[in-house]
Amino acid sequence: MIDAFKTSVATKLNLFPNEIYGHGLSLADVLAKSPTAINSIDMMESFAFAMAENGLEDELQIPAFTLDHSIDEVMEEIKRQLKSITSSVDEKKILTGIVDESTASVQRN
């Protein structure tokens, strides 16, 4: 899920994912690379776009970071939130008996 999110952000910024992730680029650096984004509002819109495109608009909160923070730091926070969502969904499935039989089993009385 994080890879799809990263791709969506990069797409909205009109960049390739390998251009911006894993290089320690600040958000300001990413803005400078983008041919379409001009300011921090455009950056936030790219995160909102990724949330909507991946059906996460009600699940994630856009983290508050300055332009000095790296895009990788932002993605780590998104990844943390996604992991929390996934854990919560898995717990609900187990509690309600809706599970994938290949990964877990539920005993019913």
Domain limits of the chain?
2-96
Whether pLDDT at 29 is above 60: yes
Orientation of helix 71-96 relative to helix 2-12, angle to 10°: 140
Q: Which of 79, 7, 85, 21 is nearest to 49 (CA)?
A: 7
The C-alpha atoms of residue 71 and residue 10 are separated, in whole angstroms, by 11
At 109 the pLDDT is 43
For residue 101, what is the DSSP state?
Answer: T
Where is average pLDDT lowest: 22-26, 29-33, 46-50, 54-58?
54-58
pLDDT digits (tens, 9 = 90+) for 12-21: 999 999 999 9
Q: What is the mean pLDDT of residues 17-42?
A: 96
Q: Which residues contact 69 (CB under 8 A, 6 or more apart)?
A: 26, 27
Q: What percent of the chain has pLDDT over 70?
A: 79
Orientation of helix 40-53 relative to helix 2-12, angle to 10°: 140
pLDDT digits (tens, 9 = 90+) for 37-76: 999 999 999 999 999 999 998 889 888 899 999 999 999 9
Whole-prediction pTM:
0.76
Q: What percent of the chain has pLDDT over 90?
A: 66
